[in-house]
């Protein structure tokens, strides 16, 4: 059954809001990993507004689903979403990066409510997710762990060690996403250190691979629903995305892996996000 | 030494340590075909990208795979080349620690590691990108030489010096624009030889990296305001440490205080303490650095201030240590 129109419109509005928040926080912070934050917006939005079993009023609720942002540098894309979900006051983000702020570029689970694990060093998230899922199993719990990886991050050997463990232990309650935005820091992933054939690699490690347009809520919805049905083979969703999505001067430009905005660029960025949402790109 | 390449204060004040490193490496690479470069998707941030652009055939980007990178560096060195390897300090000394130790140090290979974003110089990024443990870890690896240059000019000197210095070298540099403490390059840089930056006889401040300039300014300030005579020593090489410089400080000033952008355990302070303790001489002693915690988040200047390793903090800590007693007699009863 296709996603009802009103639901699609609600999610699109949440995505617009998150992108706008991302550029605002980047502006306040003086600089942030904005490109990879913008590319994963739809993944986070559909998880937090449709799929996750969470209660922001009880961030430590033991039965909650867990989220591991393994590409932790995209914290600037995660913190505003947690604020809008009610984990903390959005205005606190004005201090992002500043002295004594709870928010550095890479979010600290001991300081930021709603963050299940501290990440930022690439290649750590998927092993942590595997451990969380093993922990749930040992304790006979049914909550799930959702883990978001960067495509460059898939260079790290530890990702593949975790993939091996997840499929070995049949940890189907880990649902893995790869934000396939095709760039890392020094250039295109395929120029710096090729990850292709990426889907085949995951298959060889025992995963079922679903490839989707990572900016399509409809496709993400179907994929996540299928992943939730997995019984023996864990699922990885390779989400094909655009780095910098929504801000025309950042899209597909590796330079915007990390950057800052002045007030003029901020205004242009917001206009671009509004135009994209209204479908007049 | 590469010819026709000198760094002025002007350059050093407009270029980061990393910028200068990138340029110097290019110049060295010009005349020395043994030099190869590696990075792990941080060629641009660490500035080894300059070398990569100039010598694409001699540069290898390992992608985001630090352990493999240091293993490959060891292989390249075994084949007879001299790899310069650059990524952030935290990923060098912790992610790839065993490759650095077992593949590189154990086999005593000529791998020169220039690690950037050391200490809390990337303060905004948070703990995952801070690195206040590297000096301790690297010091504990046999065969490793450990260097923390004070500024861009010293970085240039140290990078050149390590090419023909035998065995593995770990050099930590910062991220930002650290103002210069040297006016020119020719001050006699030698690996393992500390530099006296300010003369003094009341107390000695032993420093490395960003704290050197701050301590020089503190010394000038304390001379004027308190009439204090503060010796400032730039201990750019932590290992092998310049024992002579420490022992003269013990002997001549009887008070030593160390300042570093690193955990108070295992780094410069510990290295100096090892020498002081084995000298058997009484000496007032204090270690200032990150007090065994994960640093707060913030811009480095704010953090340096908070942890008292900027000029103000150094002034305060030196005054405190001047008021501290040390016992020349053997009446220890009241202490224990
Ligand atoms: C272990 C480790 N090495 C290097 C870095 C520095 N770094 C931060 S982001 C990044 C590139 C990430 O690329 P990708 O995973 O594709 O993320 P995205 O493009 O989605 O932002 C690198 C190398 C890091 N954070 N961790």
Residues A190-204 pLDDT 10s? 999 999 999 999 999
Q: Supply the DSSP string of B222-236, one letter for each residue.
A: HHHHH---EEEEE--
Give me the mean pLDDT over the A196-213 stretch: 98
Residues in B touching A123 (Cβ below 8 Å)? 64, 95
Is the minimum CB–CB distance between B128 and chain A shorter than 8 Å? Answer: yes
Domain interval for residue B272: 195-324
Q: Do B318 and B220 have their domain in common? A: yes
Examine residue B93 and state whether it is found in any structural domain, yes or no.
yes
Q: Do B217 and B286 have their domain in common? A: yes
Contact between chains at B124 and A107 (C-beta distance less than 8 A): no
pLDDT of residue A281: 56
Is the minimum CB–CB distance between B90 and chain A shorter than 8 Å? Answer: yes
- With a cut of 0.90, is the ipTM above it? yes
Residue B329 has pLDDT above 70, yes or no: no
Mean pLDDT across chain A, nearest whole number? 97
- The C-alpha angle with vertex A193 and arms to A189 and A194, in degrees rounded to 5, equals 70
Give me the mean pLDDT over the B254-259 stretch: 97
In percent, how much of chain A has pLDDT > 70?
99
| CATH for A23 | 3.40.50.970
Q: Which residue puts its alpha carbon closest to atom 23 of ligand 1?
A: B41
Examine residue B185 and state whether it is found in any structural domain, yes or no.
no
Q: Report whether residue A72 contacts ligand 1, using a CB cutoff of 6 Å.
A: no
Q: Supply the DSSP string of A7-68, one letter for each residue.
A: HHHHHHHHHHHHHHHHHHHHHHHT-B-HHHHHHTHHHHHHIIIII----TT-TT-TTS-EEE
Tens of pLDDT, residue by residue over B74-101, are: 999 999 999 999 999 999 999 999 999 9
Contact between chains at B296 and A100 (C-beta distance less than 8 A): yes
Atom number, ligand 1, closest to the C-alpha of residue A183: 19
pLDDT of residue B258: 98
Tens of pLDDT, residue by residue over B100-133, are: 999 999 999 999 999 999 999 999 999 999 999 9
pLDDT of residue B179: 85
| CATH for B215 | 3.40.50.920
Q: Which of A107, A157, A192 sits opposite B67 (nearest CB)?
A: A157
Number of domains in chain A: 1
In 3D space, the residue among B35, B37, B62 whose CA is nearest the CA of residue B47 turns out to be B37
Residue B331 has pLDDT above 80, yes or no: no
Examine residue B187 and state whether it is found in any structural domain, yes or no.
no
Strands (DSSP E) contained in chain B are 35-39, 59-61, 82-86, 112-115, 145-147, 169-172, 195-198, 203-207, 230-234, 237-239, 255-263, 284-290
Of A37-46, B25-34, B317-326, where does mean pLDDT reach its minimum?
Answer: B317-326
Number of domains in chain B: 2
Minimal Cα distance from B39: which residue of A?
Answer: A186
How many residues belong to chain B?
336
| Banded pLDDT at B175 (limits 50, 70, 90) | confident
Tens of pLDDT, residue by residue over B297-306, are: 999 999 999 9
Q: Do B107 and B248 have their domain in common? A: no
Is the minimum CB–CB distance between B36 and chain A shorter than 8 Å? Answer: no
Minimal Cα distance from A151: which residue of B?
Answer: B64
**Higher per-residue pLDDT: B326 or B66:** B66
Q: Do B125 and B204 have their domain in common? A: no
Examine residue B178 and state whether it is found in any structural domain, yes or no.
no
| Banded pLDDT at B336 (limits 50, 70, 90) | very low
Residue A188 has pLDDT above 90, yes or no: yes
Retrieve residue B9's tokens.
């204060």
pLDDT of residue B1: 34
Tens of pLDDT, residue by residue over B220-251, are: 999 999 999 999 999 999 999 999 999 999 99
Residues in A touching B296 (Cβ below 8 Å)? 99-100
pLDDT of residue B325: 75
Q: Report whether residue B95 contacts ligand 1, using a CB cutoff of 6 Å.
A: yes
Residue B244 among the catalytic residues: no
Q: Which of B62, B124, B296 sits opposite A105 (nearest CB)?
A: B124
Q: Which residue puts its alpha carbon closest to atom 25 of ligand 1?
A: A121
| CATH for B85 | 3.40.50.970
Minimal Cα distance from B305: which residue of A?
Answer: A99
Give me the mean pLDDT over the A125-145 stretch: 98
**Higher per-residue pLDDT: B335 or A41:** A41
Q: Do B64 and B135 have their domain in common? A: yes
Q: Do B164 and B40 have their domain in common? A: yes
Residue A25 has pLDDT above 80, yes or no: yes
Q: Do B210 and B309 have their domain in common? A: yes
- The C-alpha angle with vertex B133 and arms to B127 and B137, in degrees rounded to 5, equals 145
pLDDT of residue B11: 62
Residue B254 has pLDDT above 70, yes or no: yes
| Banded pLDDT at B156 (limits 50, 70, 90) | very high
**Helix%, strand%, coil% for chain A, nearest 5:** 45, 10, 40
Tens of pLDDT, residue by residue over B140-150, are: 999 999 999 99
Residue B326 has pLDDT above 90, yes or no: no
Mean pLDDT across chain B, nearest whole number? 93
Examine residue B190 and state whether it is found in any structural domain, yes or no.
no
* Strand-by-strand arrangement of the B35-39 sheet: B59-61, B35-39, B82-86, B112-115, B169-172, B145-147, B237-239
Domain interval for residue A70: 5-277
Q: Is B130 helix (H, G, I), strand (E, B) or coil?
A: coil
Q: Do B227 and B152 have their domain in common? A: no
Atom number, ligand 1, closest to the C-alpha of residue A153: 15
Q: Do B7 and B113 have their domain in common? A: yes
Q: Report whether residue A36 contacts ligand 1, using a CB cutoff of 6 Å.
A: yes
In percent, how much of chain B has pLDDT > 90?
87
């Amino acid at each position: 059954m296709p996603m009802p129109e009103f639901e699609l419109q609600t999610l699109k509005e949440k995505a617009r809001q998150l992108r706008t928040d991302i550029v605002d926080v980047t502006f306040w912070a003086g600089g942030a990993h904005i490109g990879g934050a913008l590319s994963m917006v739809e993944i986070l939005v559909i998880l937090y507004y449709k799929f996750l079993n969470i209660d922001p009023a009880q961030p430590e609720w033991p039965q909650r689903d867990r989220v591991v942002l393994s590409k932790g540098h995209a914290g600037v894309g995660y913190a505003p979403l947690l604020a809008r979900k009610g984990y903390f006051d959005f205005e606190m983000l004005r201090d992002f990066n500043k002295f004594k702020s709870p928010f550095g570029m890479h979010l600290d689970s001991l300081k930021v409510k709603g963050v299940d694990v501290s990440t930022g060093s690439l290649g750590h998230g998927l092993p942590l997710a595997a451990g969380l899922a093993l922990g749930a199993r040992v304790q006979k719990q049914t909550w799930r762990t959702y883990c978001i990886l960067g495509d460059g991050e898939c260079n790290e050997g530890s990702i593949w060690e975790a993939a091996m463990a997840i499929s070995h232990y049949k940890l189907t309650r880990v649902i893995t996403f790869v934000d396939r935005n095709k760039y890392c820091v020094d250039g295109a992933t395929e120029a710096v250190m090729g990850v292709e054939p990426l889907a085949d690699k995951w298959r060889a490690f025992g995963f079922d691979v679903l490839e989707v347009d990572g900016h399509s809520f409809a496709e993400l919805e179907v994929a996540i629903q299928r992943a939730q049905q997995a019984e023996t083979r864990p699922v990885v969703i390779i989400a094909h995305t655009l780095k910098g999505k929504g801000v025309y001067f950042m899209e597909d430009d590796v330079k915007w892996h990390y950057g800052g905005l002045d007030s003029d660029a901020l205004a242009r960025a917001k206009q671009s996000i509004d135009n994209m949402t209204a479908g007049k790109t | 030494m590469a010819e026709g390449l000198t760094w002025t204060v002007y350059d050093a004040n407009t270029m980061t340590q990393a910028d200068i490193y990138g340029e110097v490496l290019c110049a060295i690479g010009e005349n020395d075909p043994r030099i190869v470069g590696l990075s792990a998707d941080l060629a641009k941030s660490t500035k080894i990208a300059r070398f990569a652009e100039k010598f694409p055939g001699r540069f290898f980007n390992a992608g985001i795979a630090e352990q493999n990178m240091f293993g490959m560096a060891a292989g390249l060195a075994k084949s007879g080349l001299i790899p310069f390897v650059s990524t952030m300090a935290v990923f060098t000394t912790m992610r790839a620690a065993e490759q650095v130790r077992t593949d590189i140090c154990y086999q005593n290979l000529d791998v020169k590691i220039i690690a950037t974003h050391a200490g809390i110089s990337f303060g905004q990024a948070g703990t995952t990108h801070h690195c206040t443990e590297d000096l301790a870890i690297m010091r504990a690896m046999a065969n490793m030489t450990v260097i923390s240059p004070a500024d861009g000019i010293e970085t240039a000197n140290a990078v050149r010096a390590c090419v023909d210095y035998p065995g593995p070298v770990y050099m930590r540099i910062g991220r930002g624009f650290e103002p210069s403490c040297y006016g020119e390059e020719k001050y006699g840089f030698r690996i393992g030889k500390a530099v006296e930056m300010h003369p003094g006889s009341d107390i000695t401040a032993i420093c490395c990296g960003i704290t050197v300039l701050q301590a020089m300014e503190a010394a000038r300030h304390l001379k004027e305001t308190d009439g204090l005579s503060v010796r400032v020593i730039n201990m750019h090489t932590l290992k092998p440490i310049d024992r002579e410089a420490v022992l003269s400080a013990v002997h001549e000033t009887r008070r030593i205080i160390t300042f570093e952008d690193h955990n108070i355990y295992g780094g410069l302070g510990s290295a100096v303490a090892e020498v002081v303790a084995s000298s058997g001489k009484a000496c007032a002693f204090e270690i200032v650095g990150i007090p065994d915690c994960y640093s707060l988040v913030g811009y480095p200047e704010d953090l340096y201030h908070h942890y008292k390793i900027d000029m103000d903090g150094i002034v305060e800590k030196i005054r405190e240590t001047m008021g501290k007693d040390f016992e020349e007699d053997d009446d220890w009863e009241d202490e224990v």
